[in-house]
Amino acid sequence: MNDLSQNIIGYDLWHLKLPVTSRRDHGIGSVEGACEVVMLRLTSEDGTQGFGEASPWSVFTGTPEATFAALDRYIRPLVLGARVGDRSAIMARAACAVAHCTEAKAALETALLDLAGRISGIPVWSLLGGRCRSTTPLSCSIANPDFSQDIDLLARLREDGVRIVKLKTGFKDHAFDIMRLEYLAQNCPEFSVRVDYNQGLSIEEAPTRVRDVARFNPDFIEQPVRAHHFGMMAKLRQMTDVPLLADESVFGPEDMERAARESICDGVSVKIMKSGGLTRGQTVARIAAAHGLTAYGGDMFEAGLAHLAGTHMIAATPEITLGCEFYQASYFLKEDILEEPFRIQNGQVCVPETPGLGGRPEMAKLNHYAVAKAVSE
Ligand SMILES: [Mg+2]
């Protein structure tokens, strides 16, 4: 039986703790020591396997424990025994079965797409509407509280052909942000620079600080204030000529519609972990484009499997024009979980051509880094 009418008969989970090379500070919180992801494996009757990754961050989307419980207790019964080809029906049932938990739903849709793609012998991007690009420019984040370590990272990025960096701001003082912007302007003219506050500014300090940072003419300034401060986002957008991007303010299509209606941004960060899957991420980008707004492919603290899912989504979504930030597997994790490394060439993420996601986790690594699992064998 080699078709999409077969049933899903295996459903396995791993909660992983993956060691990282450095501390990273963002406006809303820090990551130190390790980042945590949840891996889902689906198996069909003919033994084909599809994988999906959930990459939660407790201060941003949710906790790994909640993600694991959503997948293990609430979503599992909807998936076991369902037909591989009934992806839309399964996703609709998952949306009703558990509120929020967008990372769990992203992992589920990724695994269903990977499974269907492997059974059909086609890449995931072909299941999402077909390919519009074969590479995507990579942006790497500068977020180390010890800037000397980031100066070393910049040298490595330059050598690797990466030409976009995103400076994480608003986690220390304003002088530290201005010092790093001046350094980049003077020493790294070949990089285009983006700025991301991750909600780090209060509404009192935001207007002056955003105006100061706009003098450096970055590509855009992302999410200066808290997610729910739509009014201040709209005010800041009016105040400066530098494009303002929404990240934490926009999770799914419903938020995007409101963001466009209230004119809070010039563009949006599309993340499958926020939108609750790849197709909902595509919808966010299309609503943005319909309102004349741009989009880029953001991510959370992810391993390579989530990067692959995001790469397929961007490959099939012409409205995402500003590149991607799938850098963690190559520049942040001590060791990624994929069998073959996530491919970046000359600063461009390469879109896989092989069936499914075009990559899978190494089983030994899943078992090595697991702090909890629900595996049937
Ligand atoms: Mg952001």
- Residue 336 makes CB contacts below 8 A (sequence gap 6+) with 303, 304, 329, 330, 342
Classified as helix, coil or strand, 71 is helix
Residue-wise pLDDT for 17-62, tens only, equals 999 998 888 888 898 999 999 999 999 999 999 999 999 999 999 9
CA 149 and chain centroid, separation: 24
CA 214 and chain centroid, separation: 25
35: how many CB neighbours lie within 10 A of its CB? 23
Which residues hold their Cβ within 5 A of ligand 1, which is an ion?
196, 222, 247
Give residue 327 CA to ligand 1 midpoint distance, Å: 14
Range of the domain at 104: 8-121+362-374
Average of pLDDT values for 95-114?
98
178 closest CA partner among 191, 193, 190, 163: 193
Quick one: pLDDT at residue 28? 85
For residue 113, the domain's CATH number is: 3.30.390.10
Is the same domain home to 207 and 67? no
Give residue 17 CA to ligand 1 midpoint distance, Å: 22
Residue 1 lies in a domain: no
Is the same domain home to 112 and 203? no
Residue-wise pLDDT for 88-99, tens only, equals 999 999 999 999
Q: How confident is the model at residue 301 (pLDDT cuts 50, 70, 90)?
A: very high
Angle between helices 102-120 and 304-315 (to 10 degrees): 70
Is the same domain home to 232 and 295? yes
Is the same domain home to 74 and 175? no
Residue 175 lies in a domain: yes
- Is the Cβ–Cβ distance between 252 and 284 less than 8 Å? yes
Q: What share of the chain in percent tops pLDDT 90?
A: 95
Is the same domain home to 94 and 131? no
Is the same domain home to 336 and 367? no
- Is the Cβ–Cβ distance between 39 and 68 less than 8 Å? no
Give residue 318 CA to ligand 1 midpoint distance, Å: 21
Looking at the DSSP bridge assignments, the partners of residue 164 are 139, 192
Give residue 10 CA to ligand 1 midpoint distance, Å: 35
Is the same domain home to 112 and 148? no
Give residue 270 CA to ligand 1 midpoint distance, Å: 10
Quick one: pLDDT at residue 279? 98
Is the same domain home to 104 and 186? no
Domains contained in the chain, number: 2
Give residue 316 CA to ligand 1 midpoint distance, Å: 22
Q: Give the CA count within 13 Å in the CB-facing half-sphere of 39.
A: 28
Residue spans of alpha helices (H) in the chain: 64-69, 76-79, 87-97, 102-120, 124-127, 147-160, 174-187, 206-214, 230-239, 253-261, 272-275, 278-290, 304-315, 328-331, 363-369
For residue 252, the domain's CATH number is: 3.20.20.120
Is the same domain home to 256 and 149? yes
Is the same domain home to 115 and 133? no
Residue 2 lies in a domain: no
Give residue 82 CA to ligand 1 midpoint distance, Å: 36
Give residue 142 CA to ligand 1 midpoint distance, Å: 12
Residue 71 lies in a domain: yes
Give residue 141 CA to ligand 1 midpoint distance, Å: 10
Quick one: pLDDT at residue 377? 64
Task: Tell me the two tokens of residue 272.
Answer: 């499958």
Quick one: pLDDT at residue 27? 85
- Lowest mean per-residue pLDDT among 28-37, 322-331, 360-369: 28-37
How far apart, in Å, do the first and last CA atoms of the chain sit?
23
How far, in Å, CA of 273 to CA of 107, rounded? 8
Quick one: pLDDT at residue 283? 98
Give residue 329 CA to ligand 1 midpoint distance, Å: 18
Give residue 171 CA to ligand 1 midpoint distance, Å: 13
